[in-house]
Amino acid sequence: MQENKKPLLLITNDDGYQAKGLKCLIEVVKHYGNVVVVAPEIGRSGMAHAITMKKPLTYTLLEESPDYKLYSCSGTPADCVKVARFQILKQEPDFIFSGINHGSNSSINVVYSGTMGAALEGAIAGIPSVGFSLLSHNPDADFSEAQIFIAQIIEKVLQFGLTPKTCLNVNFPKVSEIAYKGIKICHQTKGFWRENYLETSDPWDNKSYWLTGSYTNQEPENAETDEWALANNYVSIVPVHVDLTHYESINQLKKQGYEA
Amino acid sequence: MQENKKPLLLITNDDGYQAKGLKCLIEVVKHYGNVVVVAPEIGRSGMAHAITMKKPLTYTLLEESPDYKLYSCSGTPADCVKVARFQILKQEPDFIFSGINHGSNSSINVVYSGTMGAALEGAIAGIPSVGFSLLSHNPDADFSEAQIFIAQIIEKVLQFGLTPKTCLNVNFPKVSEIAYKGIKICHQTKGFWRENYLETSDPWDNKSYWLTGSYTNQEPENAETDEWALANNYVSIVPVHVDLTHYESINQLKKQGYEA
């Protein structure tokens, strides 16, 4: 980006262009540059890093104001980033912000998250990117305190950039009567979901199964994890990256004779 | 798993239960234990780690033979693993094998891959899991040489298990006139796709856009990457894991004052 130009800021989410969380993110981001929003036309929660390969995508300009342009897109959050970069925008965005998601993307949720799929798509492209999520599924959740911290975090990212191929996974505690205590830089909490499918029947008694589950935290109570931070009313930031290699296993597999 | 019992082996894929690659994987895996297959009812390529949250899932027992049971499932590959574990099976699978995918899941493709989404879902659960992919999209691709190596790899995984929270991303070169040279344990090649959307029109002249693109390898030519191994006719194995934390960034972000 040129020194004397406003940065180009791309916004997306996974709850769809009508979500309150998206509007609250735009309210903050618009103060920092030229904003283009490309968001899914419907909610695409749980879409992870999915991309649309077997059908073509569409997009529509819905709103144009002095502050931003807003497009809806028929694809996933990662598709929105790709369509923005290679189809809608005339130049590469300088930063990508995704969210504010209605619901947690801490711990293992990061791998299922469409919000973070979009941020990771930015990281792959070498664009500093941040996903923001609030620990409430309420469509009318209160994002006001999160917005204050989002402004702080955006200012840092604009100032310092991020390590190439990384992005930030930012989660906000549910708003309570006490203010957030501050920000903690964390690692991703080790944990998993144990599913408990809810059986339903259609009028012809065909069974189908809704995903429900309960989360297990596998870490000792520990100030360094995002779950600990959130439980203690801190905003959590986990730097995440797109190299999934488990380097520690490379020598072990060689010793076990896989290459022999 | 008990010593004197055959292991329970779960198979899935992302090309759907009718894919040749799945059948070729079953042919190998059935020699190593009791096999249950839970595969998408349609092709779900590019689904990454997506899960189905906004509608209920269905599954159907399609085939029951002495060698295996085969179910189709309406969900994504990761859904197939969850539905198998929490709905279909009476006990936890001992191992999960995903594939054989028709197409590459090397380099950055791992993050878009439904095949690997399923294997990573196994890793989250602490179940040793492997995703297999062949570098050919041909629906009638020749998997015969891959099958020989799959048997070897399965024997190793059954013997040694895998580091908890990791799984293997195995890719096979396209079959050529010369035999595969062997196996290389690799790290994920740093790279990205530059998209080039193909515009199409419907009968009413509405435009839509098909995802197409070209891959850029950002590594120096290097014997340690999966792209190098595959280009040199080796089978590549990358150990991958589900902790996305970029630990090297934690101190840097603290120094930049994010917590202040």
Q: Given a cut of 60, is residue B3 above it in pLDDT?
A: no
CA–CA distance, B182 with B117 (Å, rounded to integer):
26
Q: Given a cut of 60, is residue A160 above it in pLDDT?
A: yes
CB-nearest to A192 from B114, B125, B250 is: B125
Q: Is residue B201 in a domain?
A: no
**Angle, CA B200 vertex, CA B196 and CA B204 arms, to 5°:** 155
- Kindly report, residue by residue over B203-230, the tens digit of the pLDDT: 999 999 999 999 999 998 876 999 999 9
Q: How far is CA A161 from the centre of its chain?
A: 17
pLDDT tier for residue B246 given thresholds of 50, 70 and 90: very high
Q: Is residue A62 in a domain?
A: yes
* Residues of chain B contacting A124 with CB distance shorter than 8 Å: 108, 111, 192
Residue A252 to residue B182, Cβ atoms within 8 A: no
* Residues of chain A contacting B51 with CB distance shorter than 8 Å: 46, 48, 112, 211
CA–CA distance, B98 with B114 (Å, rounded to integer):
9
Residue B87 to residue A197, Cβ atoms within 8 A: yes
Q: Is residue A208 in a domain?
A: no
pLDDT given at position B132: 98
Closest-CA residue of B relative to A116 is: B244
* Residues of chain B contacting A54 with CB distance shorter than 8 Å: 43, 45-46
Task: Give mean pLDDT, residues A202-223.
Answer: 92
Q: Is residue B212 in a domain?
A: no
CA–CA distance, A8 with A68 (Å, rounded to integer):
10
Task: Give mean pLDDT, residues B123-138.
Answer: 97
Q: Evaluate whether B108 touches B65 at the Cβ level (below 8 Å).
A: no
Report CA torsion sign: A38, A43, A45, A51: negative
* Residues of chain A contacting B117 with CB distance shorter than 8 Å: 48
Q: Given a cut of 80, is residue A222 above it in pLDDT?
A: no
Question: What's the number of domains chain B is made of?
Answer: 1
Q: Given a cut of 90, is residue A258 above it in pLDDT?
A: yes
pLDDT tier for residue B13 given thresholds of 50, 70 and 90: very high
CATH code at position B134: 3.40.1210.10
Domain range for residue B126?
A: 8-188+221-255
pLDDT given at position B5: 84
Closest-CA residue of A relative to B85 is: A195
Q: Is residue A173 in a domain?
A: yes
Q: Is residue B248 in a domain?
A: yes
Q: Evaluate whether A13 touches A44 at the Cβ level (below 8 Å).
A: no
Closest-CA residue of A relative to B189 is: A243
Q: What is the ipTM of this complex?
A: 0.95
CB-nearest to B48 from A48, A59, A163 is: A48
Q: Which of A249, A250, A254, A256 to mutate to test the interface with B (most CBs of B within 10 A)?
A: A249
Helix-strand-coil percent breakdown of chain B, rounded to 5?
30, 30, 45
Q: What are phi and psi of B191, to 5 degrees?
A: -170, 180
Residues in CB range of A42: below 8 A, 6 or more apart: A16
Q: Is residue B200 in a domain?
A: no
DSSP B138: -
Q: Is residue A260 in a domain?
A: no
* Residues of chain A contacting B190 with CB distance shorter than 8 Å: 165, 243
B229 CA: distance to closest CA in chain A (Å): 12
Q: Given a cut of 80, is residue B78 above it in pLDDT?
A: yes
Q: What are phi and psi of A74, to 5 degrees?
A: -75, -5
CA–CA distance, B246 with A70 (Å, rounded to integer):
32
Average pLDDT taken over every residue of chain B: 96
Q: Which residues pair with B210 in a beta bridge?
A: B198
**Angle, CA A252 vertex, CA A250 and CA A253 arms, to 5°:** 70
pLDDT tier for residue A90 given thresholds of 50, 70 and 90: confident
Residue A65 CB burial class (10 angstroms; 0-12, 13-18, ≥19): exposed
Query: Model-level pTM?
Result: 0.95
- Kindly report, residue by residue over A71-89, the tens digit of the pLDDT: 999 999 999 999 999 999 9
- A139 to chain B, any CB pair closer than 8 A? The answer is no
pLDDT given at position A176: 82
* Residues of chain A contacting B166 with CB distance shorter than 8 Å: 246, 249
Q: Given a cut of 90, is residue B176 above it in pLDDT?
A: no
